Amino acid sequence: MSSIQWRVEPNYLTVPRSWKIRFVPRDSAGTDELAIAMNEENPNYSVEDIKTMLALQERVIQKKLLNGDQVTINGMFSIGFSFTGRLDSPDDPLPPVDETLHIDVRALQPFLKEIRQKARFEKLPMSEKRPVIDSVEDTRLHLADVLYSKGVLHLSGTRLAFDPEAEGCECLIEGTRSGEAVQSQFGPISDSSIVLVPDIPPQDAPFNNEYTLTVSTRPTGHGNPRIGIYRRRLRSPLLLTDFGHPNPPAVGILTGSATDPLVSVLGGTVTEDEMLRIQAVFDIRNSVLLLSLIGMTEDGPAGEAVTVPAGGEYTLQGFAGSAVSSLTVNVADYAALLDLVRNQYYGRLADVLDVRVGA
């Protein structure tokens, strides 16, 4: 069983000086990670089924709360409302809800007691607080973890503030195969946000479109830089040209730092230029990959998923309203693609494709 990590931090607000106990999370589990873990516990439900149920649970809980109910989930948590604010008279109306209404989530005692009995702890050495990058989004395409040369990148997190002109302070985008670029075109920078126009370094091959991002700060102006590494990989759009010609050039996609593309687009039926995405999803229940074409918005239109149990050529159908009727792809290294999707991308890898029709 893994341990719960904690470390000691100074509490500068007390006299005499005291110390705080700080929980240090190993990672952050979102909907995708929870769905994968639940599927591993019960393979009778697919990851997509579980994600649908989690989204449904959220909507049902919201409706129950809006009905004035208190919600209890399997003896684990109790969810209800609380109010803050002051009334000068018992006949005063309720103050604005933005200032008074809060949602309380409380762990129930049986669940908390079991956690306390099973918990194992690990004390970490004291360390300086590092920048934490929680999310990265391209504000033009409105997609997470995408590096777009014509867009603006928005980083959200904590302890991000730094002076780009100061020694040892920088935001670095680095290719996983080759190339790196210290960023220089910034918008507003604050403790919780960085806005920048990305300078995307070229890599050894066009299909190597995978990048890492780090932020180095020096809050006190001296000492060693504090480095925060974004835990997800960023990917830049891939250009597909000369569609409509008999033999458009093959373009590598869905690849990391490999010297040869794991997957290539061989051709397709396209009526006009369009940007769309292709995704590879790991189906845990059947231990295969699913490939499909999807739109440029999350939860948007999608073509039918094609089961990919091995290498070879596959034809992916477009979706309603798309100018791309189909794309034919060749999976050249199935084992490497499966490993990449499972272990580097939490079970889902997507590439933005900029498809151009030839003259």
What is the per-residue pLDDT for 29? 84
Name the nearest CA neighbour of 181 among 198, 194, 167: 198
pLDDT at 8 over 90: no
The residue behind tokens 């033999």 is: 247
The residue behind tokens 């809050």 is: 219
The whole-chain average pLDDT of the chain stands at: 92
The dihedrals phi and psi of 19, each to the nearest 5 degrees, come to -130, 145
pLDDT at 15 over 70: no
- β-pair partners for 327: 268, 316
In this predicted structure, which of 1-5, 135-139, 310-314 has the lowest mean pLDDT? 1-5
Q: Kindly state the average pLDDT of the residues 170-190.
A: 97
Q: Kindly state the average pLDDT of the residues 110-132.
A: 87
45 touches 51 (CB < 8 A): no
Q: Long-range contact list for 178-181, CB < 8 A, 24+ apart?
A: 178/203, 178/204, 178/208, 179/203, 179/204
In this predicted structure, which of 4-13, 24-33, 185-194, 289-298 has the lowest mean pLDDT? 4-13
Domain boundaries, the chain: 4-82+97-123, 132-235, 238-357
Cα 353 to Cα 244: distance, rounded to the nearest angstrom: 16
Q: How do beta strands 288-294 and 274-283 pair?
A: antiparallel
Q: DSSP letter for 271, please.
A: S
Cα 312 to Cα 306: distance, rounded to the nearest angstrom: 12
Question: Which value, to the nearest 10 degrees, does the dihedral of the CA atoms of residues 258, 249, 323, 236 take?
Answer: 30
Q: Long-range contact list for 41-46, CB < 8 A, 24+ apart?
A: 43/284, 43/285, 44/285, 46/283, 46/284, 46/285
pLDDT at 12 over 60: no
Residue 331: Cβ within 10 Å count: 23
pLDDT range class, residue 75, cuts 50, 70, 90: confident
What is the per-residue pLDDT for 226? 87
CATH number of 132-235: 2.70.50.70
What is the per-residue pLDDT for 2? 82
What is the per-residue pLDDT for 87? 87
pLDDT at 351 over 70: yes
Q: Does CATH number 4.10.520.10 belong to domain 4-82+97-123?
A: yes
299 vs 200 pLDDT, higher one: 200
What is the per-residue pLDDT for 217? 93
- β-pair partners for 83: 101
Q: Kindly state the average pLDDT of the residues 255-282.
A: 96
| Domain 4-82+97-123 matches domain 132-235 at the CATH topology level | no
What is the per-residue pLDDT for 285? 87
Helix or strand holding residue 171 (H, E): strand 170-175
